[in-house]
Amino acid sequence: MVTPNRANHRRRAAIAGVVAGLVAGGAVGAALLTGAAPPADPALPRPTILHAAPALVTAGAPVELTAATFCAEPGLPSCAISAASAAVRPAGVSGWTEVSGRPDGGAFRFAVPASLVPPDGFSYRLVLRTADGVAIAYPPGGDEAAIRVVTTAGLPVRDLGVIRWDRRRPADEVVLRLPYGSGDGEVGRWGGEGELEAIGPSSFDVGPDGSIAVADWVNRRIQVFGAAGRLREVIASPTTRPVDLALTGDGGYVLSTLGTEATAFEVAAAGGVLGRYPVGFGVATRVAASATGGPRVQVGAAQWAAVRSAPGIPLAGDEQGRTQTTSVPLADGDIGVSADIDGRSFAAVWTRPDGSRGGAVVRLPAGVAPGADYFVHPLADGGAVVAKGVWDDTHFGVIVVRLDARGRIRSTGLLPEPSIEQAARYSTVRYSPAGDVLVVFTEPGGIHIDRFIVR
Amino acid sequence: MIQPTNTERKTTIRRPIAPRRIAAAIAIPMLLGAALASSPASATWVDDNCKGSAVELSGWSRAYASAYAQQAVDEGYEWGGGCYKLNDRDDTPNLATDGSGEGADCSGFVFKSWALHQDGSPGYRRWDHDKDIHGPFSTWGYLAPRSGDPFKELSSKSYGATTYMDAFVWRATDYGHIAMVHAEGSGGFDYVIHARNNDVGTTIDYIDYRSLSASKAITRKAWSPECFPKCPTLG
């Protein structure tokens, strides 16, 4: 039985609830209208946004963007995504157009219409709102952090020709062979039996003098070998986790752990740790040294973010977002980038010595899909060397394409599948300053790094 | 025919206890328990922390599987294991990889995330994260599904052929690995969710397992529709 007092109490409570709901709803509504988000409770888990950016697209064709999230407690309102949108700005236009995200397959898909993809490309950023009303931008950092997409307008289209999986190019030379172990000149290997995935040295890079640095993470060290293959020095690794590694112009090293909540490191040539920098967003997949020496971390396909302002001074996440670029300029300012176009071809673009853009769209044979974007290296003659993964259901190879200044294919070569035991996947294939391609392979009892001369 | 190694048989494939062994299964632990009662230090982390159970369900969607798997990220890794204490850290970072510590291995993580039955029969069984169970399938099992298995190989590894929470499995000479697709990427890469190893635990990574020449795409049979359990009734 409900007494009058209880009924009054319930009525008052109901009215108070409605009023509170209207106030709260109005606040949320106002926040949605103005773009201002309610303050996020730092104690609650929040989604990490996972997004692979398209670096190159076809002008005048629709583009589909996708974004997924990861969150520790997916059932909580602070983790659940209630709405998603992309703000898109075509080049030369001042205003942003909102494109709603459609939930599909555990992710959100954003259909950017062809009208927003002019020949000069477009910029975009993503905003995902949680069920408790918090807006999460990707990349962080506001309009300045918008991801820039360029198009293939004006690039010639070339056919790669037939791929013969049974005709791989043999290496021209083994430049380094390292047995497994923990002694000098040996490298560690984790797992490798039963259900234990093997992870050997997690990365390598090659210096201007031909020296090779190997991230021997199992033995917590970096080993540096001279051009003749002799061990030159051993440097303590600043982390116990598998890392990607790159050499800097002054003989130092930049490293980054891989995956979510990554940390980048800057290590002096003599081995001292100059800085540790938390990576503020995305999923770290590789690291490069910027022309100024600091690390830039790839946090998603075609998204490279600086992580420090000066040695030892980290950038906050939104500051990192504002620095992200499609590629990392080389020491001379040149850039090169490649990307899938439609699942059947890839495009490569680069800067020529006169500052103009070179490039080509390369069509793959039927049934072959574009794989990893290892590198696009501009050359002094205006052309470039491109190393790109290619694959089908049962094969994988590395196609090395020599393109001239007009984007014509001068030579191609299919290299064997690199080691599957190196954690930094993109760094299994490296451009050597000598003009060659270096690839790491696994063999019983160790690894070897082979040289392939680009003809 | 592909056969698992002896090591795998011993350490990662746990099969249901036959009825005739039940008496021994009860009696031996009782005797051991009595003998060890005076030495509590012998209890393992699993003994102390893995009290979970399981419940039979009428369905299991990819969304449920994804939510289940995400909760295990940042937890530990245990070869042949299956028990998670959900606190966003590896509770046994210094134990050997088969030292009765926290976490599943790659194949056990797929077994639990896909809500499979311990005997491999069809249906849906949600295992508590703190239930120490690996399931009967190693990477060998996922690599070569039999007709009666609750999963199957997909006809292609292309992006169009797979959906999130499908898996890529592969074997090298001496080892194998399996990882589930958390979200599709590009260029042969995906955001995968997997029990990786004892150093990094259970993680999300952006990796090219899809394009490895040795990998195969595997999916659970009979995923429930995404609207489960509130799907509209037809007719």
Top residue of B213, B223, B226 to mutate, by most chain A CBs within 10 Å, is B213
For the cut 50, the answer to whether the pLDDT of residue A18 exceeds it is: no
pLDDT of residue A221: 98
Element (H, E) at A323: helix A317-323
Name residue A130's beta-bridge partners. Answer: A81
Count CB-CB contacts under 10 A for residue B82. 26
Domains and CATH numbers, chain A: 4-152 (2.60.40.10), 159-453 (2.120.10.30)
Among chain A residues, CA nearest to B183 = A68
Mean pLDDT on B121-137: 97
* CA A21 to each of CA A15, A24, A29, B74: distance values in angstroms, whole numbers, following the listed order: 10, 5, 11, 37
Domains and CATH numbers, chain B: 51-220 (3.90.1720)
Mean pLDDT on B83-94: 94
* Structure tokens belonging to residue A246: 């790159």
Mean pLDDT on A281-297: 92
Using the Cβ of A163 and the Cβ atoms of chain B, whether some distance falls under 8 Å is answered with no
C-alpha span between A224 and A39 (Å, rounded): 48
Residues on chain A touching B11 (C-beta within 8 angstroms): 194
Model's pTM, two decimal places?
A: 0.88
pLDDT of residue B234: 65
Count CB-CB contacts under 10 A for residue B197. 25
Q: What letter represents residue A364's amino acid? A: L
Using the Cβ of B88 and the Cβ atoms of chain A, whether some distance falls under 8 Å is answered with yes
CB contact under 8 A, A371 and B211: yes
C-alpha span between B227 and B205 (Å, rounded): 28
Q: What are phi and psi of A17, to 5 degrees?
A: -65, -40
C-alpha span between A291 and A256 (Å, rounded): 17
For the cut 60, the answer to whether the pLDDT of residue A29 exceeds it is: no
Highest mean pLDDT range out of A16-25, A26-35, A272-281, B88-97? A272-281
Give A301→chain B minimum CA distance, Å: 8
Q: Which residues does B25 contact at the CB level (< 8 Å), separation at least 6?
A: B17
CA atoms within 13 A on the CB side of A325: 12
> Per-residue confidence at B235, pLDDT binned at 50, 70, 90?
low
pLDDT of residue B41: 57
C-alpha span between A99 and A111 (Å, rounded): 7
Biggest CA–CA distance in chain B, Å, is 65
C-alpha span between B149 and A316 (Å, rounded): 49
C-alpha span between A21 and A14 (Å, rounded): 10
Mean pLDDT on A100-114: 95
Over residues A404-418, the pLDDT tens digits come to: 999 999 999 999 999
pLDDT of residue A10: 38
For the cut 80, the answer to whether the pLDDT of residue A359 exceeds it is: yes
**What sign does the dihedral A177-A181-A187-A191 (CA atoms) show?**
positive
Residues A347 and A155 sit within 8 Å (Cβ to Cβ):
yes
> What value does the mean pLDDT of chain B take?
85
Count CB-CB contacts under 10 A for residue A278. 14
pLDDT of residue A323: 94
> Per-residue confidence at A2, pLDDT binned at 50, 70, 90?
very low
Strands A369-378 and B216-220, sheet pairing: unpaired
Size of interface A-B (CB pairs under 8 A): 171
Residues A158 and A408 sit within 8 Å (Cβ to Cβ):
yes
pLDDT of residue B36: 42
* CA A270 to each of CA A204, A234, A265, B116: distance values in angstroms, whole numbers, following the listed order: 18, 10, 14, 53
Among chain B residues, CA nearest to A72 = B71
CB contact under 8 A, B208 and A425: yes
Interhelix angle B106-113/B62-70, nearest 10 degrees: 130
CB contact under 8 A, B197 and A68: no
Q: What are phi and psi of A340, to 5 degrees?
A: -65, 150
Burial of A355 (0-12, 13-18, 19+ CB in 10 A): exposed
pLDDT of residue A194: 87
* Structure tokens belonging to residue A373: 């974007």
Of B198 and B220, the structure prediction assigns the larger pLDDT to B220
* Structure tokens belonging to residue A83: 């709405």
C-alpha span between A156 and A86 (Å, rounded): 30
Strand blocks (E) in A212-344: 212-216, 221-225, 231-236, 243-247, 253-257, 263-267, 273-278, 286-289, 295-300, 303-306, 308-310, 313-314, 336-340
% of residues, chain A, pLDDT over 70: 91
Give B69→chain A minimum CA distance, Å: 9
Of A12 and A184, the structure prediction assigns the larger pLDDT to A184
Residues A318 and A141 sit within 8 Å (Cβ to Cβ):
yes
Which residues 111-140 of A are in CB contact (within 8 Å) with B?
none
For the cut 90, the answer to whether the pLDDT of residue B12 exceeds it is: no
Over residues A223-237, the pLDDT tens digits come to: 999 999 999 999 999
Residues A397 and A419 sit within 8 Å (Cβ to Cβ):
no
> Per-residue confidence at B233, pLDDT binned at 50, 70, 90?
confident
pLDDT of residue A15: 35
C-alpha span between B152 and A409 (Å, rounded): 42
Minimal CA–CA distance to B80: which of B97, B61, B63?
B97
* Structure tokens belonging to residue A189: 């290997």
Using the Cβ of B66 and the Cβ atoms of chain A, whether some distance falls under 8 Å is answered with yes
For the cut 50, the answer to whether the pLDDT of residue B91 exceeds it is: yes
CB contact under 8 A, A195 and B138: yes
> What value does the mean pLDDT of chain A take?
90
Residues B186 and A245 sit within 8 Å (Cβ to Cβ):
no
% of residues, chain A, pLDDT over 90: 83
Residues B6 and B52 sit within 8 Å (Cβ to Cβ):
no
Residues B192 and B210 sit within 8 Å (Cβ to Cβ):
no
Mean pLDDT on A58-67: 97
Residues A386 and A376 sit within 8 Å (Cβ to Cβ):
yes
For the cut 80, the answer to whether the pLDDT of residue B210 exceeds it is: yes
Strand blocks (E) in B140-215: 151-153, 167-171, 176-184, 190-197, 201-207
Which residues 132-151 of B are in CB contact (within 8 Å) with A?
138-139
